[in-house]
Amino acid sequence: MAAGLHALRPVAGGAAVAAGLAALILGTLAVVAWHAGGLSGLGPWDWRAVWFTIWQAVVSAALSAALAIPVARALARRRFPGRAALVTLLGAPFILPVIVAIMGLIAVFGRNGAINDALRTLGLPEFSIYGWQGVILAHVFFNLPLAVRLILQGWQAIPAERFRLAESLGFGPRDVARHLEWPMLRAVLPGVWLAVFLVCLTSFAVALTLGGGPSATTVELAIYQAFRFDFDLGRAAALGLVQIGLCVAAMALARWIAIPAAFGAGLDESRHARAPRGWRVGMDALAIALTTLALLWPILAVSMQGLPRIASLPPEVWTAALRSIVMALVSALLALLMCLTLALAIARGRAAWIEAAGMLPIIASPLVLGTGLFIVLRGWFSTDAMALPVTVMINAIMALPFGLRALIPAARTLRADYGRLADSLNMRGVSRLRYLTLPRLARPLGFAGGLAAALAMGDLGVITLFATDQPTLPLKLYQLMNSYRMADASACAVLLMAISFALFWMFDRGGRLA
């Protein structure tokens, strides 16, 4: 088999990465499961965490999806200056560090925030951002934009001819909704709900900062508490086993409900037929204005507080920033290397298990992986020695599904368009990489690298498991918050946000210019 022989090398690379990945993730999960020794060690407190995890994820997802409908409809049928910028802005929360958004929400909804100031003035009871309501608020803040983008894609997938036909038949807005929009929403909403549900199921940083206590502890947070406060590895592992079960069950749901891709094409066009006039204009304007406000206000609030103090941040914050940048870059390069190898092998087809291995990180939550790796490595390394490498590795792994989603279609197109030409010219190995693969895949590679770098930069997850004297920037920020140095924490948040966006911009821009 000539073609078979020739195909061997790239597929072997992909198979090696996939096998390593599967061994690492499944091996770690197996260690967790074995160490857990069943679920008998879990008390009522732990089961409350399980219940809360499911409950808050169901509610957060439902709220995000429901609130997203009017916003997506407004964006789909209205054209206004700044619309493209707003659609881009809706993508920003994905790379916004969770801890920064939380600082922003505290600045607006916290005890001294504008909302509670207004409530006090009106003589109404205060709103507390700490507790289950804060957790859900933060989840909606993060996932509403995602839901809007997904639903907007659904709206724009309705062919313009349908709207023209509806118009020619004299449909009013109600008829359009009934015959065109509701059928689309019925098809799209379950997937949107599930996408948000999955994100909220493994929520850690939000629960860590805004939740806690018996009524607002997620399983991930309970793992952290069992690990750090009780140093009860058996219970941490048992909780990890529960978390794996939750993720697997959610993925089983995904067998029936297709999750739409978050970064699909076509967010910016296909002209909509004549949009309805009258009171619906005001309603759409309101939906768009409220969304913009909800997105920007927290970020602006924390920026106003933080910006003036950046220059006077203590040196250990700058050290942490530098440490985080290096870690994010290493993590992004690792993720890119794995993504590219996997995507090239997947593009050659015939290896479904390689693709499955690339998607494994979805069922493994960072804290579960962290617990497992700690159990495996503790015989050889001190906590301090493993903290940063384990964090870098897990962040790289967690970025894989997103990177692959960007790279696989591009790699398939590349192979279909230029695979034969490159084969016939005997382009292989480094030459092929340099003159074909890298230049043609520069854009998705830059995008994937930017995502990986920004996610790693802002991550406040696994690192919290390790009592390390080498904090990352998000961990440093969390420590400042915990010691009530809110002014410094705000400045630190601005710095972290700026670096995360800058990292994403550099990679993405680099890919576009290449």
> Is residue 4 a contact point for other proteins (CB under 8 A)?
yes
Answer yes or no whether residue 6 interacts with other proteins by CB under 8 A.
yes
Stretch that binds other proteins, among 2-10, 31-39, 79-87, 135-143 (CB under 8 A): 2-10
Q: How far is the CB of 370 from other proteins (least distance, A)?
A: 41
| Strands (E) located in 73-180 | none
Measured between its terminal Cα atoms, the distance across the chain in Å is: 36
The residue from 307, 436, 502, 506 that contacts other proteins (CB under 8 A) is: 436
**Chain centroid to CA 382: how far?**
30
Point out which span in 223-231, 359-367, 402-410, 428-436 binds other proteins (CB under 8 A). Answer: 428-436
Nearest to 324 by CA among 373, 388, 403: 388
Binding to other proteins (CB under 8 A) within 392-421 occurs at: 417-418, 420-421
Tokens linked to 450: 């930017």
In the block, tokens 């313009």 appear at 160
Are 416 and 467 within 8 A, CB to CB? no
Q: How far is CA 40 from the centre of its chain?
A: 33
Does 423 participate in binding other proteins (rule CB under 8 A)? yes
In the complex with other proteins, which residue's Cβ is closer, 139 or 432?
432
Distance, CA of 76 to CA of 158 (rounded, Å)? 10
| 513 is a contact residue toward other proteins (CB under 8 A) | no
> Which range binds other proteins by CB under 8 A, 87-95, 400-408, 435-443, 496-504?
435-443
Q: Which is nearer to other proteins, 437 or 500 (CB)?
A: 437
Residue-level length of the chain: 514
Q: How far is the CB of 420 from other proteins (least distance, A)?
A: 6
Cα–Cα dist 426/404, whole Å: 27
Does residue 439 touch other proteins according to CB under 8 A? yes
Q: Report how many helices (DSSP H) and strands (DSSP E) the chain contains, helices first.
A: 21, 0
- Least separation in angstroms between residue 447's CB and other proteins is 17
- Contact at 8 Å (CB) between 132 and 243? no
Nearer to other proteins by Cβ, of 312 and 424: the residue is: 424
Q: Does 435 bind other proteins (CB under 8 A)?
A: yes
Write the CB contacts of 12 (distance below 8 Å, at least 6 apart in sequence): none
CB of 432 to other proteins, least distance (A): 7
At 508, is the secondary structure helix, strand, or coil? helix
Asked if 164 interacts with other proteins (CB under 8 A), we say no
Name which of 5 and 252 has its Cβ closer to other proteins: 5
Residues near other proteins (CB under 8 A) are 1-6, 417-418, 420-421, 423-428, 430-432, 434-436, 439-440
